Chain A
Amino acid sequence: MKPNNMLAAGVISLALAILLPLTVLGSSSAGVIAFVVLVLAALWAVYTIEKRRALLTSLIGVIAAIAYPLVFNSTEATTIMFFALLYVAIASSWNIIGGFTGYISLGHAAFFGLGAYTIALVADRLGLSGGYGLFAVALLGGVAAGLFAIPMGYIALRLRTIHSFVIVTIAFLFMYQLLAFNLQDATNGSSGLAVPQPDWSGAFFNIPFYFAALLLAVLTVGLAAWIRNSRFGLGLMAIRDDEDKAAGVGVDTWKHKFTAYVISAVPIGIAGAIYAYFSSYIYPQTVFDPMIDLTIVLSAFLGGMGTLLGPILGSLVLQPAQQLLTLYTGAAGWDLVLFGVLFLVVILLMPSGIVPTVVERMRRARVQEAVRKADALSQDAVPDAAAEGGQG
């Protein structure tokens, strides 16, 4: 058996080893963990065995996600996974600018808040009541976010250094938060705004939200995948690698960055609107929240920035971990410390994120194997496998 197959088999059996006892235990937090492990193992196994089967992988992931609420129907399990899927969409969308071009935005929560305020204000002014129709209004949140992203991107991307960009995006976020506080007539200020409650309730309550988040996540990941494989995406990656050289080979860097920035705002706006609908009440400080940005960046990094799988993986691990950690260790006051320490360990051990680290390890193993074989053949000649590796 080849080493990568062995690794995949190892991951699967480890997943099963954790999964089986947990499902027997039947607690819903175990369900969340089990689900995350299962999806990750499936994604991972197929991804590592053969990259070309990405479509199959995604299918398995989506089917698992659809089946999830049917298997683990406790409200805790669906609530946590609703947030996790929402963040899959948010982090994947953020990744289009942050990951693909390397322009780390710490202000994308502005779009989250814009989406949230859009749905609240539209529902209020038009006197809409809760129902499935409001999900359509949530799309307007995306439109609003996209429109606001145009001037913001125009200003922020004029700054050619990444650190200035980072900090100006933070400034934008706080400016929106202050506007939401101060424009009392429009936003109701610090008293916040209510969003109409859905007309379904009880045990079924989470289900429509769960599937809305899932749909948004699938579409956003699809969008990111499409961009990644397009000529446009190639230009973005070139910018990340070396902006001057990219411009040198004829990439219109400004247009690329700007388009990526605006596109990345839209799904986050929709996510903000869905969140607002789910939570039924929004405040300036809860939707224009810098913590949202830190969570996005943490998720993307944990999984691996600039990769498609990274933000998915990061969100699926981080959201449940964070919520369960707060839920179960918060009472003892250790959650912050634990969370910080766990995060430090991961960053120090895998500085480029989980996906790239593992891919790199396997690539190295492959190269070394090739070198070993070649050395056995002749002392001088080194096969091409190693040379290709050097470029990667």
Chain B
Amino acid sequence: MDLVFGSVVLGILSGGIYALMAVGLTLSFGVLEVINIAQGMLVLVGAYFSFALEHYWHIDPLVGLLVTIPALFLIGYGIEWAFLRPLRQDRVALSILVTYAVALVMEGLIGLWFGDNFVAIHAWYVDAAVDVFGLYIPYIYILGFALAIVLLGAVYLLLYRTKFGAALRATVQNRDAAVLIGIDVQRISTLTFAIATGLTAAGGMLFGATNAFNANSMLDLISRLLMIIILGGMGSMGGALIASLIMLVSVDVVSVVWTPNWSTFAFFVITVVVMVLRPQGLFGAPPARKV
């Protein structure tokens, strides 16, 4: 097995998993103009749901998605309705605070419910792996990547092949004009946030199957996701996917060829350099709207 080859392959596969977590964040930014600090926590909520289903009722995590995705959809719906919709001015700034507070409440409740012990999601496909040129690729990574492609593909179709998608994209590009042509921006916002949160359930399950976690893992996760969506271009779904791959591959490769200590730093440098050369990110639209 070649070490660099291995880390590139695994980086790409786990990049897909991160994309699933980041897409929700970038979508809700694009449509609602909010930075959802609670996204990291929502990933963990999704992970805990899958864990609970598997641990207490022995429901396979993949099958469990049929329950956890709708559950997180509803949670997202509720969060938007209760906390984001009332925000009128300073949406970006206020959303940081509101969603952080929401994340704290969820962290506290999960801590009370599940305790602080680290848990991990188990399934036969988590530990088993297939041999590819001497590198064993775990099924969970292949599965996660496939799931990411399927779900992101579904979102793509929703965005580009439906009337709802057209309205959503219109809202992203010009919110005021969208109102004037009769788009119910509020309804679009709520549904987008709910869909984004629902997707996060899948990201959470995969995160939980590839890492051990507890409720405190939130802050680290959200900082990574934020870097991903800004590198990809905020609001851009394809950008989130590509940036996830760049992040995971660059971190993994720097870790093996140099040292893990500097790998995250290298990614930060890449992000900052890209931002300086191209402030809208790799795939972001140039800032048409006023800031």
Binds A, one of B50-58, B166-174, B202-210, B258-266: B258-266
Q: Which of B93, B261, B269, B279 contacts A182 (CB 8 A)?
A: B261
Q: Which of B111, B219, B272, B287 contacts A171 (CB 8 A)?
A: B272
Asked if B234 and A178 make an inter-chain contact with CB atoms under 8 angstroms apart, the answer reads no
Q: Is A301 an interface residue (CB 8 A)?
A: yes
Asked if B92 and A341 make an inter-chain contact with CB atoms under 8 angstroms apart, the answer reads no
Q: Quick one: closest A residue to B289, CB to CB?
A: A161
Q: Which of A178, A335, A340, A351 contacts B94 (CB 8 A)?
A: A351
Q: How far is the CA of A333 from the CA of B107 in the complex (A)?
A: 11
Per-residue 0/1 for B259-291: is the Cβ within 8 Å of any A Cβ (1 yes, 0 no)?
A: 001101100110110011001110000010011
Asked if B108 and A175 make an inter-chain contact with CB atoms under 8 angstroms apart, the answer reads no
Q: How far is the CA of A102 from the CA of B94 in the complex (A)?
A: 12
Q: Is A50 an interface residue (CB 8 A)?
A: no
Q: Quick one: closest B residue to A344, CB to CB?
A: B101
Name the interface size band of chain A.
35 or more
Q: Give the residues from 105 to 156 in chain B that come closer than 8 angstroms, CB to CB, to chain A.
A: 105, 107-109, 111-112
Residues of A within 8 A of B108 (CB): 333-338, 340
Q: Least Cβ distance of A346 to chain B in Å?
A: 9
Q: Is B48 an interface residue (CB 8 A)?
A: no
Asked if B268 and A340 make an inter-chain contact with CB atoms under 8 angstroms apart, the answer reads no
- A161-B287 CB under 8 A given contacts A168-B230, A178-B264, A340-B101: yes
Question: How many A-B residue pairs lie within 8 Å, measured between CB atoms?
Answer: 138
Q: Is B73 an interface residue (CB 8 A)?
A: no
Binds B, one of A13-21, A152-160, A209-217, A368-376: A152-160
Binds B, one of A27-35, A83-91, A126-134, A290-298: A290-298
Asked if A160 and B86 make an inter-chain contact with CB atoms under 8 angstroms apart, the answer reads no
Q: Which of B86, B107, B291 contacts A336 (CB 8 A)?
A: B107
Q: Is A63 an interface residue (CB 8 A)?
A: no
Q: Which of A243, A334, A351 contacts B291 (CB 8 A)?
A: A243
Asked if A336 and B105 make an inter-chain contact with CB atoms under 8 angstroms apart, the answer reads yes
Q: Is A166 an interface residue (CB 8 A)?
A: yes
Asked if A340 and B102 make an inter-chain contact with CB atoms under 8 angstroms apart, the answer reads yes
Q: Quick one: closest A residue to B230, CB to CB?
A: A167
Q: How far is the CA of A317 from the CA of B280 in the complex (A)?
A: 38
Residues of A within 8 A of B211 (CB): none
Asked if A297 and B230 make an inter-chain contact with CB atoms under 8 angstroms apart, the answer reads no
Q: Is A226 an interface residue (CB 8 A)?
A: no
Main secondary structure of the interface of B (DSSP, over half): helix
How many residues of B are in contact with the other chain, CB < 8 A?
A: 47
Q: Is B245 an interface residue (CB 8 A)?
A: no
- A166-B97 CB under 8 A given contacts A158-B276, A290-B223: no
Q: Is A170 an interface residue (CB 8 A)?
A: yes
Q: Is B226 an interface residue (CB 8 A)?
A: yes
Asked if A164 and B94 make an inter-chain contact with CB atoms under 8 angstroms apart, the answer reads no
Q: Least Cβ distance of B39 to chain A in Å?
A: 13
Per-residue 0/1 for A145-183: is the Cβ within 8 Å of any B Cβ (1 yes, 0 no)?
A: 000000000010011111110111011101100110110
Residues of A within 8 A of B103 (CB): 340
Q: Which of B112, B230, B276 contacts A337 (CB 8 A)?
A: B112
- A160-B291 CB under 8 A given contacts A174-B223, A336-B111: yes
Q: How far is the CA of A254 from the CA of B223 in the complex (A)?
A: 28
Among B94, B100, B275, max chain A CB count under 10 A is at B275
Residues of A within 8 A of B101 (CB): 339-341, 343-344, 347
Q: How far is the CA of A242 from the CA of B280 in the complex (A)?
A: 20
Asked if A159 and B109 make an inter-chain contact with CB atoms under 8 angstroms apart, the answer reads no
19 example contacts (A-B, Cβ-Cβ < 8 A) are as follows A104-B96, A106-B96, A160-B291, A164-B275, A166-B92, A167-B226, A170-B223, A171-B271, A182-B265, A334-B112, A336-B107, A336-B108, A337-B112, A340-B104, A340-B105, A340-B108, A341-B101, A351-B89, A352-B89
B-side residues, CB < 8 A to A, are 29, 35, 83, 86-90, 92-94, 96-98, 100-105, 107-109, 111-112, 219, 223, 226-227, 230, 234, 261-262, 264-265, 268-269, 271-272, 275-276, 279-281, 287, 290-291
